Amino acid sequence: MTTVSASDELAQAAFTFLQEQLEDAQRACITSSFQAEDVAVVHMARQIRPEIPVLFLETGYHFPETLTYRDRIAAEWNLNLVNVEPEITVAEQESKFGILNQTAPDRCCGLRKVEPLFRALGGYTTWVTGLRREQSKTRANLQPREFFTLPTGHILAKLSPLAEWTTRDVWRYAEQNNIPLLPLYDKGYTSIGCAPCTSLPFDPEDARSGRWSGRKVECGIHLQAK
């Protein structure tokens, strides 16, 4: 029995889509930053596949609140949490290259997010995300089901069941299903990543305007979809 509110047609449609897509998926995973939309998708996916691996990018730069919240949700929901780590530690990276999140944020994201995730995704055929079109212009053409090609040539089915959702839809779903959200939202953050590259939004019309001091809007992962 699903706990998705049947009175919400949007939520029911997303759940049904995900259920149909995961039914025959051989090796599926879901990535989660433990922001609101990601937690909503995890909430749906675990009802369909309770043991689905939940991949979290452990960059070494996260807010303490994010890690505490991750551990809380993972424990309460009995998630199959997989912490995906870079090949080198923060200390090793800073010793070798300096503070890349200040001098070369693209390279920092590449080392600590993009490359580790792409290595991890090589073991799967289906990838579930919490991406939404509303989040940024770079995601405006997002489709619920796309194909994603890794640098190795490995192709995955990439699922974004919340593609059409607004922020209000996400928060409504959380409220209807009694899902606690990351406490950083209460401090005014609207898009949350690594602490050094996340600030309060400076544009009230752009939830991601607080990311990377406005220098970019993507870490690089989702710009390579095919």
207 within 8 A of 167, measured Cβ to Cβ: yes
Tokens of 125: 């055929």
The number of beta carbons lying within 10 Å of the beta carbon of residue 95 is: 10
Over residues 134-171, the pLDDT tens digits come to 876 767 788 999 999 999 999 999 999 999 999 999 99
- Amino acid at position 218, single letter: E
Question: Which residue blocks in 49-124 are alpha helix, DSSP H?
Answer: 64-76, 90-97, 100-103, 105-109, 115-121
**Where are the chain's structural domains?**
9-186
Question: Would you say residue 216 has pLDDT above 90?
Answer: no
Whole-number pLDDT of residue 1: 37
Whole-number pLDDT of residue 212: 58
Question: Would you say residue 226 has pLDDT above 50?
Answer: no
Whole-number pLDDT of residue 215: 65
Winning range, highest mean pLDDT, from 47-61, 104-118, 125-139: 47-61
Q: How does residue 225 score in pLDDT terms, banded at 50, 70 and 90?
A: very low
Could you please state the CATH topology (level 3) that the domain comprising 9-186 is classified under: Rossmann fold (3.40.50)
Over residues 63-75, the pLDDT tens digits come to 999 999 999 999 9
Whole-number pLDDT of residue 5: 46
Please list, in sequence order, all residues whose beta carbon lies within 8 angstroms of the beta carbon of residue 84, skipping any fewer than 6 positions away.
55, 56, 57, 58, 116, 117, 119, 120
Over residues 106-120, the pLDDT tens digits come to 899 999 999 999 999
Name the DSSP letter for residue 188: T
Please list, in sequence order, all residues whose beta carbon lies within 8 angstroms of the beta carbon of residue 190, skipping any fewer than 6 positions away.
167, 201, 207, 208, 210
Mean per-residue pLDDT, 215-221:
56
Q: Does 219 qualify as catalytic in the annotation?
A: yes
182 within 8 A of 69, measured Cβ to Cβ: yes
Q: Which of 108, 194, 197, 219 is the catalytic position?
A: 219
